Chains A and B, each alone.
Chain A
Amino acid sequence: MIDIKNVSKIFRTKSQTIEAVKDVSLEINKGEIFGIIGYSGAGKSTLIRLLNGLELPTEGEIIVGDASIGALDKKDLRKKRQKVSMIFQHFNLLWSRTVIENIMLPLEIAGVKKEERERRARELIDLVGLTGREKNYPSELSGGQKQRVGIARALSNEPEVLLCDEATSALDPETTEEVLNLLLKIREELGLTIVLITHEMEVIRKICDRAAVMENGRVVEVGPVIKLFQAPEHDVTKRFVRDDLDDEETEIQIESIKETFPTATILKLGFVGTKARAPIVSMLVKKYGLDVNILSGNIKNTNDESYGHLYIAVDITSDTLEQITNDLNAESVNVEVAQ
């Protein structure tokens, strides 16, 4: 669906030259939710703006659907943008228009007739759960509601691709969850491709199928989300994963537990995939008659799998440890002795 080939973007001003995007190549499949994560200044905002031609590449080629974005003339680029729509961190709604008028704006630009505009806008208002709010002005809505209007507006021309520019970064955790669920819902119902940029690993984990990690304008790691969490390779990826799991806090706890139970072995059980829902602990208790002390657990759900880890303290010999390790490995649970 989207093919980014060796793309670089250089901004030149009188005083300096900034290489915002450096030799990035990515392929994004149809119907996929693809995340791009990076700290601020990593180049992700520039990269996403290259996909709808708000910025044009200095080098390389970007193909969206059947068109090369850089090769389109102004008129065709405007037409293309109607099919590659965008939502924003600060929603960017027109304060001078009501909810329904905001949603109809892209349809006016596309030259859709009035009755058809209203019909489609009303459908979208229902889809995003804002029924009854048509006549309100943006200033009368909460942040989450504003982003719903933004999403409805972006969907009004039935796009093939939806670009999300930090769409949840200005929202509180609960509202973020709602908006992410809405994105999952529209992907399912409308089958469009979603590309999102974020600095929150949580967003990647909750809805993305695959993700790319960016640092200093380059893509340093790309892969299925579960793989990034399970076996992050680059330091930046590791940092994002650790921040999402709050691992540092766990380590502090382990230190203090070791002082309280000097004889206990502390095991870190790593879960990947749906097995995270299997009753591992009760199996250990029943089969080996162990007293299991649960120290800390962290199970996270991605959009279709779970992963995480559980720290437990048990009094065991090395023989039992081996047996347990084999049993758990059979359940695809990874066992490590925490030091």
Chain B
Amino acid sequence: MIETLKEMFSFEHVKLDAVLEATYETLIMTGVATLFAFIIGLVLGLILFLSSRKRGAVSTPVYGATSFVVNLFRAIPFIILIILLMPFTKVLMGTIMGVWGAMPALIIGSAPFYARLAEIALKEIDKGVIEAAESMGASTWELVYKVLIPESLPALVSGITVTSIMLVGSTAIAGVIGAGGLGSLAYMVGFTRSQPDVTLVATVVILIIVFAIQIIGDRVAKAIDKR
């Protein structure tokens, strides 16, 4: 026990350039996947919100179909999603390994999650404000970009913070099966070569990234909230 702890804090196996590279890979995977999750999730969230407002020949089936797809992809555990998507990833990205090989699974795993968060954010908008915009003659598109997005922005930002932190976790899982990044470092180097000090360092760096995302997200959400 004490031996293990000693080894953990010895840092003798830790190579700075390896840690920096893994950190960079984690940041790239998280950043790019967050960006796509935001765009795709917001579009899906808007479709869910707009189609749930009124019953109709178009809106009811659109809501049903979108909701089904979102629920389906959210229900698949991430590790299984990666495996399921492998043939698709191979065609799309040319590889199933490394940072870019992990990207499709990361995006498809997180976008439906963000879609639900975006839908909740949009539902929080005061109905009266939407009615006011309609009474001014706003089209659906004008309603979306002049009212819905600005009025729900703090909640959309909080949602992207949550999604982004979830993605840091997902990159670590992806790392175990060959995606690179801090998860890969902790498993491939730290665990399989019995170098617990490397695992510890990878963990600390992940924690720092998570805390940084949370703090930045909170600050941004607060700064744009004029309520």
Q: Count B-side interface residues using an 8 Å CB cutoff.
A: 21
Given contacts A90-B128, A94-B150, contact A109 B136 (CB under 8 A): yes
Among B10-18, B56-64, B139-147, B188-196, which stretch is in contact with chain A?
Answer: B139-147
Interface assignment of B129: CB less than 8 Å from any CB of chain A: yes
Question: By the criterion CB–CB under 8 Å, are B137 and A93 in contact?
Answer: no
Question: Which residue of chain A has its CB nearest to the CB of B147?
Answer: A94
Interface assignment of A81: CB less than 8 Å from any CB of chain B: yes
Q: Which chain A residues border B146 with CB–CB below 8 Å?
A: 105, 108-109
Interface core residue of B138, B139, B147 (most chain A CB under 10 Å): B138
Interface assignment of B132: CB less than 8 Å from any CB of chain A: yes
Q: Count A-side interface residues using an 8 Å CB cutoff.
A: 28
Interface assignment of A79: CB less than 8 Å from any CB of chain B: yes
Q: Which chain B residues border A90 with CB–CB below 8 Å?
A: 126, 128
Question: Which residue of chain A has its CB nearest to the CB of B140?
Answer: A74
Interface assignment of B21: CB less than 8 Å from any CB of chain A: no
Question: By the criterion CB–CB under 8 Å, are B137 and A54 in contact?
Answer: no
Q: Which chain B residues border A176 with CB–CB below 8 Å?
A: none
Interface assignment of A100: CB less than 8 Å from any CB of chain B: no
Q: Which chain A residues border B138 with CB–CB below 8 Å?
A: 78, 109
Interface assignment of B227: CB less than 8 Å from any CB of chain A: yes
Instruction: A92-B131, A96-B224, A106-B136 are known; give 10 further A-B pairs, CB within 8 A.
Output: A78-B139, A81-B134, A81-B137, A88-B131, A95-B151, A95-B226, A96-B153, A97-B150, A105-B136, A109-B146
25 contacts between A and B (CB under 8 A): A54-B131, A54-B135, A78-B137, A80-B137, A81-B134, A81-B135, A85-B135, A88-B128, A88-B132, A90-B128, A91-B128, A92-B128, A92-B131, A94-B147, A94-B150, A95-B227, A96-B150, A105-B136, A105-B146, A109-B136, A109-B138, A110-B137, A137-B226, A139-B226, A157-B136
